[in-house]
């Protein structure tokens, strides 16, 4: 098997390694370097300014606003998405027998996840449209006119209107993830618990939750990392408007780079966001560690 | 003699029936059925919340602009098929569609080729640095793309200058491949590890070269894995937005997602809602088709990726 193996290994690895080094590794390294420069896109005018970009970032109110939005979403998105996904998964599995129409629900719930975020964003922009959207006109039609709001145009609701779309799009994915986990829990566990008189809630808390923990943990980390990005949905739906009320860090960074040509500053924002993402992932991994239950 | 057992049986039957009735009643009012009905209601509500927006989108694509503005819930008075031809021609969705098709087909092909070659080597051969290369690709799964955007923008500009390219799409294809490699390599490496090694060894013993063994024996065996990761990449790259937004600023070579976002913004001035909705439907159709054809595979691939990664 080893005869002349390097004649295979080297040419087989070369294309992927080359592309990966040039278009992935180099840009990341270069972004870190750029964050120490003042640079408006013309190479002659690239001046080293040490940590100035980071200091400036610390005092930038617009950055803080965007960051605080990410922080709020970091709490709300995992909580709501996972609760809803768990609820649907529990209803769906029904203690091993499966609900009627299971295949239909599965196909429907999962669908938004494979849909392009741009389509979803544009579509919901019109659903939320103050006059011609189905949300407000529907509310008016059933006599709830006072609940009709200028969703994306209002500083109070814009961020949460976008968050609702993010949840809407991803619940099905996490439901399928949890269903897979729940179906692997032996049915006898529930049977035994029921004979002992355990309530449905007790069964959920003492059997489902611990045995599903590995899946929940993955979901928390995935959603948390996604909550620190959200560039596309915000860029498409609101561009951070009105008055930055729905801005997030990734979109703020894009604006600094490609609207204001402050490439060094934008790189510093990117590096900060990367560090935050990394720390968060590690923190969550440690906090969510539990003894793995074998069954 | 014969009457007694019959009567006995009837009595038993009656008892059984009554017991059944009692349990049915209990189930109906306190337990399983109530829960079943309750879960059906919740599940139907969410299903409607998913279906309604898409159904509304398709319906709206057939309406006139005044109908869209003044009667958002109403059925179209007559089907405006010309919305689609207007979106395709005037709003240039046709040309964006063609560009997307070119980019996605080239980059998915190259992604599959390069990642399967890499995965095969990483899964089947021991050599110094094997683990390091694997972990280096895995690191790419952690990094958010936006950090790389600024350098990538200048890199692609330099790349185009170097090769005298005026069209951004070749560079975009290579960037797509590079960013699709980590997950594809990860997925296919475990796939190649799970394949039986006897066949490859037999082929080598029979005198086939390493190349013949890979392309003639191993790749056909890996077809299910290639299909799963291929569908995953088709959808991911079809839906990609941030990379073309930054790297492909020329409206002549826009991809579908860029074109949609551009139309949605332009919308504010031109008020051609109907063409925009037709464009949304046109962009959705390929995703819908792929999803319906490969739903199970996709679901399995995505969730398996989440659990292993």
Q: Which residues of B touch A34 (CB under 8 A)?
A: 150-151
In whole angstroms, give the CA distance from residue A9 to residue B246: 35
Return the minimum-mean-pLDDT range out of A3-7, A188-192, B6-10.
Answer: B6-10
In which band, very low, low, confident or very high, does the pLDDT at B20 lie, cut at 50, 70 and 90?
Answer: very low
Which residues of B are less than 8 Å from A273 in CB distance?
144, 146-147
Given pLDDT bands bounded at 50, 70 and 90, which one contains residue A237? very high
Partners of residue A37 on adjacent β-strands: A48
pLDDT exceeds 90 at position B240: yes
Burial-class residue A241 by CB neighbours within 10 Å (0-12, 13-18, 19+): middle
Q: What distance in Å separates the CA atoms of residue A68 and residue A60, rounded to the nearest whole number?
A: 12
Beta bridge partner(s), residue A47: A38
The structural domains of chain B, ordered by start, are 3-82 (no CATH), 88-308 (1.10.3720.10)
User: Where do the DSSP E strands lie in chain A?
Assistant: 37-38, 47-48
Say yes or no: A273 contacts chain B, CB-CB below 8 A.
yes
Percent residues over pLDDT 70 in chain B: 84
pLDDT band at B3 (very low <50, low <70, confident <90, very high): very low
Q: Is A150 exposed, middle or buried (0-12, 13-18, 19+ CB in 10 A)?
A: middle
Instruction: Please provide the average confidence, as pLDDT, over all residues in chain B.
Output: 84
Q: Over chain A, what is the mean pLDDT? A: 89
pLDDT score, position A146: 84
**How confident is the model at residue A267, as a pLDDT?**
93
Quickly list H helices, A98-143: 102-114, 117-127, 134-141
- Cβ neighbours of residue A23 under 8 Å, at least 6 residues apart? B152, B155, B174, B175, B178, B179
More confident residue, B3 or A40: A40
Higher pLDDT, A120 or B15: A120
Is pLDDT larger for residue B143 or for residue B249?
A: B249
pLDDT category at A224 given cuts 50, 70, 90 is very high
Mutate one of B149, B173, B233, B294 to test the A interface: name it (highest A CB count within 10 A).
B149
Residue ranges of B 126-185 with Cβ closer than 8 A to chain A: 127, 133, 136-137, 140, 142-144, 146-155, 174-175, 177-179, 181-182, 185
pLDDT of residue B144: 80
User: Over pLDDT 90: what percentage of chain B?
Assistant: 50
Structure-token pair, residue B56 = 């509304």
Residue B159 pLDDT exceeds 90:
yes
Burial of A87 (0-12, 13-18, 19+ CB in 10 A): middle
pLDDT band of residue B119 (cuts 50, 70, 90) is very high
- Determine the pLDDT at residue A95: 52
Q: Do A122 and B181 touch (CB under 8 A)?
A: no
Kindly report the nearest CA distance between residue B15 and chain A, in angstroms: 24
Q: Identify the burial level of B270 via C-beta atoms within 10 angstroms of its C-beta, where 0-12 means exposed, 13-18 middle and 19 or more buried.
A: exposed
Residue A160 DSSP class: H
Cβ <8 Å between A20 and B140 = yes
Nearest residue on chain B to A42, judged by CA atoms?
Answer: B154
For chain A, positions 16-55, list CB contacts with chain B under 8 A.
16-17, 19-20, 22-28, 30-31, 34, 41
Query: Which 8-state DSSP code applies to residue B147?
Result: G
Q: Is the pLDDT of residue B227 over 70?
A: yes
Encode pLDDT of B246-255 as tens digits: 999 999 999 9
The closest CB to that of A12, out of B68, B70, B120, belongs to: B120
Which structure tokens are listed for B35? 């829960």
**CB B299 to CB A94 under 8 A?**
no
pLDDT band at B309 (very low <50, low <70, confident <90, very high): very low
Position A256 pLDDT exceeds 90 = yes
Residue pairs spanning A and B at CB distance below 8 A: 247
Q: H helices of chain B, where?
A: 3-29, 32-60, 65-70, 82-89, 93-124, 130-142, 149-162, 169-194, 198-205, 210-212, 219-221, 223-238, 242-247, 256-270, 273-308
- Max CA distance (Å), chain B: 105
> Is the pLDDT assigned to residue A153 strictly greater than 80?
yes
Structural domains of chain A, with CATH: 50-287 (1.10.3720.10)
Residue pair B55/A110 in contact (Cβ under 8 Å)? The answer is no
Contacts of A218 by beta carbon, 8 Å cutoff, 6+ apart:
A177, B306, B307
Q: What is the tens place of the pLDDT at every residue in A31-65? A: 999 999 998 877 667 889 989 999 999 999 999 99
Question: Averaged over B223-228, what is the pLDDT?
Answer: 89
Nearest CA in chain B to A9: B121
Contact assignment for B147 to A126 by CB distance below 8 Å? no
- The residue with tokens 């949905």 is A233
Mind telling me how many Å the CA of B289 is from chain A's nearest CA? 11
CB contact under 8 A, B148 and A28: yes
Residues A117-149: b if buried by 16+ CB within 10 A, e if exposed: bbbbbbbbbbbbbeebbbbbbebeeeeeeeebb
CB contact under 8 A, A87 and B174: no
pLDDT at B35: 60
Sign of CA dihedral A210, B42, A152, B251: positive
φ/ψ bin of B70: left (φ > 0), alpha (ψ from -120 to 50), beta (otherwise): alpha
Tell me: pLDDT of B1 over 50. Answer: no
Distance CA B64, CA B71 (A): 10
Which residues 214-273 of B have a C-beta within 8 angstroms of A? 214, 235, 238-239, 241-242, 245-246, 257, 260-261, 264, 273
pLDDT at A97: 61
Residue A176: both structure tokens together: 């399928």
* Maximal CA-CA distance, chain A: 79
């Amino acid at each position: 098997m080893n005869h002349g193996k390097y004649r295979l290994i080297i040419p087989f690895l070369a294309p992927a390694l080359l592309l990966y080094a040039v278009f992935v590794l180099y840009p990341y390294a270069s972004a870190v370097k750029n964050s120490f420069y003042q640079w408006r896109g013309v190479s002659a005018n690239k001046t080293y300014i040490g940590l100035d970009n980071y200091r400036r970032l610390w005092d930038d109110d617009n950055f803080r606003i965007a960051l605080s939005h990410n922080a709020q979403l970091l709490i709300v998105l995992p909580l709501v998405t996972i609760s809803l996904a768990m609820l649907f998964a529990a209803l769906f599995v029904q203690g091993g027998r499966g609900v009627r129409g299971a295949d239909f629900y599965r196909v429907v719930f999962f669908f938004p996840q494979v849909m392009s975020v741009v389509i979803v964003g544009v579509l919901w922009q019109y659903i939320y449209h103050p006059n011609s959207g189905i949300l407000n006109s529907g509310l008016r039609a059933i006599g709830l006119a006072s609940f009709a709001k200028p969703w994306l145009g209002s500083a109070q609701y814009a961020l949460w209107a976008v968050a609702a779309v993010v949840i809407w799009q991803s619940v099905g994915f996490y439901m399928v993830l949890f269903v897979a986990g729940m179906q692997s829990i032996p049915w006898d566990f529930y049977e035994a618990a029921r004979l002992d008189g355990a309530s449905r809630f007790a069964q959920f808390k003492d059997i489902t939750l611990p045995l599903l923990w590995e899946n929940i943990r993955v979901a928390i980390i995935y959603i948390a990392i996604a909550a620190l990005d959200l560039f596309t949905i915000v860029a498409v739906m609101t561009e951070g408007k009105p008055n930055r009320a729905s801005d997030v860090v990734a979109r703020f960074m894009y604006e600094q780079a490609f609207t204001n040509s402050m490439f060094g500053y934008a790189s510093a924002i990117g590096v900060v966001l990367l560090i935050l993402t990394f720390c968060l992932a590690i923190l969550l991994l440690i906090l969510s560690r539990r003894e793995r239950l074998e069954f | 003699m014969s009457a007694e057992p019959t009567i006995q049986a009837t009595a038993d039957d009656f008892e059984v029936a009554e017991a059944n009735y009692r349990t049915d009643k209990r189930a109906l009012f306190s337990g399983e059925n109530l829960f079943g009905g309750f879960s059906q209601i919740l599940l139907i509500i969410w299903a409607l919340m998913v279906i309604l927006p898409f159904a509304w989108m398709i319906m709206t694509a057939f309406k006139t602009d005044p109908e869209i503005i003044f009667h958002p819930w109403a059925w179209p008075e007559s089907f405006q098929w010309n919305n689609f031809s207007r979106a395709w021609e005037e709003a240039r969705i046709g040309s964006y569609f063609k560009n997307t098709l070119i980019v996605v087909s080239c980059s998915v092909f190259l992604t599959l080729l390069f990642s399967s070659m890499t995965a095969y080597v990483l899964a089947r051969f021991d050599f110094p640095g094997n683990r390091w290369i694997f972990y280096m690709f895995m690191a790419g799964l952690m990094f958010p793309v936006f950090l790389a955007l600024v350098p990538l923008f200048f890199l692609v500009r330099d790349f185009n200058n170097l090769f005298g390219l005026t069209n951004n799409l070749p560079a975009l294809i290579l960037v797509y491949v590079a960013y699709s490699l980590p997950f594809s390599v990860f997925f296919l490496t475990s796939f190649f590890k799970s394949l039986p090694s006897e066949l490859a060894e037999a082929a080598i013993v029979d005198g086939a070269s390493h190349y013949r063994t890979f392309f003639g024996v191993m790749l056909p065996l890996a077809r299910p894995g290639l299909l799963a990761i291929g569908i995953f990449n088709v959808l991911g790259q079809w839906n990609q937005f941030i990379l073309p937004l930054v790297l492909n600023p020329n409206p002549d070579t826009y991809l579908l997602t860029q074109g949609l976002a551009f139309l949605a913004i332009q919308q504010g001035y031109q008020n051609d809602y109907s063409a925009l909705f037709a464009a949304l439907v046109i962009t959705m159709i390929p995703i819908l088709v792929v999803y319906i054809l490969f739903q199970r595979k996709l679901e399995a691939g995505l969730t398996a990726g989440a659990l292993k990664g």
